[in-house]
A and B are shown apart, each in its own frame.
Chain A
């Protein structure tokens, strides 16, 4: 009951790397500091519409450094910890793979590229921000990026196949954010006990 399909769940449970809290199993590569930097540079630069969906795509699907479940767990921790989520994820994964240098490489890669882009945009914005074509392109990109985030969430849910108590907590977070528009700290801190309870309960129910 790791929230993964049966066979994978047993693997995850037996994997000594998983037990030791290391994301890398024996078959999964452990990135170097340079790889962490370059990969996070890419995540930052392609990260339209927020980077969490992109980080998942690159880390789980392309590089296979972490599993779907591991990424979702690190992201969950990143939301409880104060500060930007994507930064918290980069620091934690960097630290697990390569200690302090890994954390530094991942986080500077994540912020370095986009900062340069933003610097250029900030200088151009006053001159071109009101051009109708630019606004139209941005509007179309924003619509696609929003759909991308929904598609990513659907994909994660499909792969993790949550047991119903876990699913219920997820739906509560969705409703709290999208319908009730509650402040995020309320949702995260308010639902954390229920999420933990659901995880504890499904963990115990495991045969």
Chain B
């Protein structure tokens, strides 16, 4: 029992600390998660960590939910909940506090300029993650063609991207 709560406490503290250095998003701190989980605590092997990460990428939802899978692996359902809450709770409160403060400052020119100034960084990083994921997914020419086709479809049409995901899954099932 005390061992369990010990592990849960380590999960909570570890991911709380990680969430607060995660500038740029949850994916920015994957190497730090790897260090915590594999090197510091020895909860799993490198290969197992990579598997869980791939699983979280393949599932719907925020990619940061890999922390939920790590928690599950280490401490079952309680571990999953503790790790997810540690990763999201304090960071969410901080965003909430910022949002409250922002509405009081609304209209200030420096704030508007700051917000507009972060737009290119945000969009550039979406491009960047698209490139990185395309490279990772391009196991052969067909997979690359699926990515390119999906890019054009989502860019040029207003239909739901679920279509390209379904087609991608089908092509994968038949050819990959």
Contact = CB atoms under 8 A, between A and B. Distances in A.
Interface of A: 2-3, 19-22, 44-54, 57, 61, 69, 72-73, 75-88, 91-92, 95-96, 100, 103, 107, 110-111, 113-115, 117-119, 121-122, 125, 129, 133, 136-158, 160, 162, 166-174, 176-178, 183-185, 187-189, 191-192, 194-200, 203
A118 B24 contact: no
Given A84-B62, A195-B120, A173 B99 contact: no
B10 interface: no
Interface of B: 19-28, 31, 51, 54-65, 68-69, 72-73, 77, 80, 84, 87-88, 90-92, 94-96, 98-100, 102-103, 105-107, 109, 112-134, 136-139, 143-144, 146-156, 158, 160-162, 164-165, 167-173, 175-176
B98 A92 contact: yes
Contact of B95 (A91, A167, A171): A91
Contact of A173 (B21, B109, B120, B139): B120
Given A148-B164, A188-B24, A84 B88 contact: yes
Nearest to B129: A149
Given A147-B151, A151-B155, A191 B121 contact: yes
Given A177-B129, A185-B23, A196 B161 contact: no
A140 B173 contact: yes
14 contacts: A22-B103, A76-B115, A86-B64, A107-B88, A110-B62, A111-B84, A118-B61, A136-B173, A144-B150, A146-B133, A146-B134, A151-B155, A171-B124, A177-B124
B87 A84 contact: yes
B20 A82 contact: yes
A132 to B, nearest CB: 9
A188 to B, nearest CB: 4
